Amino acid sequence: MTFEHRGQPSAEAVELGLNTADPTTLVVDLNCAFASIEQQHEPALRGKVLAIAAYATDAATIVSSSREARDLGIKTGMKVFEAKAIHPAVIIREPNPPRYRDVSDKLIELMRRHSPDVLRMSIDEASLDLAGTPNLKKLGPEGVGKAIKHAIREEIGECVTSSVGVSTSIWMAKQASNLNKRDGLERIDHTNLLAVFDRLRLTDLSGIADASARRLARGGIHTPIQFLRATPPKLRLAGMHPEFAKGWSMRLRGFEVGGFESPRRKSYSHSHVMARATASQRELEELLMRLSDMVGRRLRAADRRGSVVEVSVVYRPDPGHFSRQARQPRPVSTGDEIYQAALKLLTARDPRLTVGTLGVGVSALADGDAGQLDLFGDAAHPRTLRLEAAMDRIRDRFGEDALQRSRLLGRARVVRDRIAFGNTGHPDEPENEGA
């Protein structure tokens, strides 16, 4: 296959200011990622109604479902008990993040065979820019898409399919990949952009959720076509800031907004949904310790520290929740620092209520070497940091439970490595839904 030009732009495309360049950007999205990877790994799961949930409890959230499950209406974000109401025989599996990261890394490797400009967007999605590459002329963007799909089938497995979108920007290529989520390959350019938009809803556009759609509707914008044609005054009427309006105007016309840079995380957090709610201070402290250690590991892996520690609690079965946060005297990154700060915050919980979910987070992030050490404070000693780094390396190689705090020895492992919806689990990559 050779790269084909699509002819001269129409008068309407020129009038609207659409990007009339030939597409060089691809987005590759693995279909039903976690579930399909499990089906590839375990043949007995193939063809079965399968859901991957954060934990094996009825109250847990489903983070991925197989094609067979989705056909029945079992979707990401649904609770396990809701899935069982639809199909009682649904198979529930807990996530295996290392397995998914391996596949994600393999996808990046396959894509880099065609271009050095590859961006990992999430655990199951990545983009590449073919501009200036030999395969742009030799295969064309659709040809490269087919080659990547073939490599996925051959080198990752036949159960793992992908949807590929081709366009002139990452955002528009993502819209193209969303057009056919069953092993599709679609292209959006100036010749068909209006026709594609004409059959979409506002909430089909990446970045436009229900709340945004309602705000746009207040300005008389109800469809993607109306959004595209909206004037700056109409967008202001919808409450959109001029800079955001300018960005959306470019995005909707197929221009790249923001370039090939991954936004840095603003926070790190870990939470655990307990199989049995508890009011035991001892149990909550031990869980808090585990969660704090895991948040600390993620911070250190990204070479970052945080100044704000937060604890969140969801009560069960009684409705309600609470969260508390506190700014620390200096940025923290070790599990013990996070735990000591979180423990103080946990005292604000209502001790009469049982806790169903406990979470720990760190925000107000800075690079690991940012800031000046307090000469008279009790900041983590360099020897402590070296010890933590050595422990990290051991756990990376032998697993999270290879080393334990003495207080936790002999306790059942209750906190698991997990990836929230689309997040890669790699440092400094944004969390997003859609596995």
- Yes or no: say if 268 and 295 are a contact pair by the CB < 8 Å rule: yes
Structure tokens at 135: 């395969």
- Residues 320-325 have a mean pLDDT of 90
pTM value? 0.68
Cis peptide before 317 (omega within 30 of 0): yes
**Degrees, nearest 5: CA angle 377-290-292:** 35
pLDDT tens column, 33-91: 999 999 999 999 999 999 999 888 888 899 999 999 999 999 999 999 999 999 999 99
Report the pLDDT value the prediction gives residue 3, as an integer from 0 to 100: 45
Which has the higher per-residue pLDDT, 203 or 383?
203
Q: In angstroms, rounded to a whole number, what is the distance separating the alpha carbons of residues 272 and 249? A: 41
Percent residues over pLDDT 90 in the chain: 60
Looking at the chain, the whole-number percentage of residues with pLDDT higher than 70 is 81
Cα(74)–Cα(325) distance, rounded to whole angstroms?
35
Q: Which residue has the higher pLDDT, 302 or 434?
A: 302
Between CA 292 and CA 330 the distance in angstroms is: 17
Secondary structure of 266-288 in the HEC alphabet? CEEEEEEEEEEEECCHHHHHHHH
- Tens digit of each residue's pLDDT (9 = 90 or more) over 360-407: 999 998 886 544 333 334 445 566 666 666 665 665 555 555 555 555
Q: What is the pLDDT of residues 81-127, one digit of tens each?
A: 999 999 999 999 999 988 998 999 999 999 999 999 999 888 899 99
Mean pLDDT of 251-279: 78
Q: Where are the domains of the chain?
A: 267-408
Q: To which residue do tokens 């076509």 refer?
A: 225
Q: How far is CA 249 from CA 27, 197, 200, in A?
A: 21, 14, 17
- Four-residue CA torsion sign, 138, 181, 18, 127: negative
150-163: average pLDDT? 97
**pLDDT for residue 285:** 93
- Please compute the mean of the pLDDT values over residues 147-157 and round it to a whole number: 97
267-408 CATH fold: Dna Ligase; domain 1 (3.30.1490)
What is the distance of C-alpha 85 from the center of its chain?
A: 27
- Joined together, the tokens standing for residue 55 give 């934990």
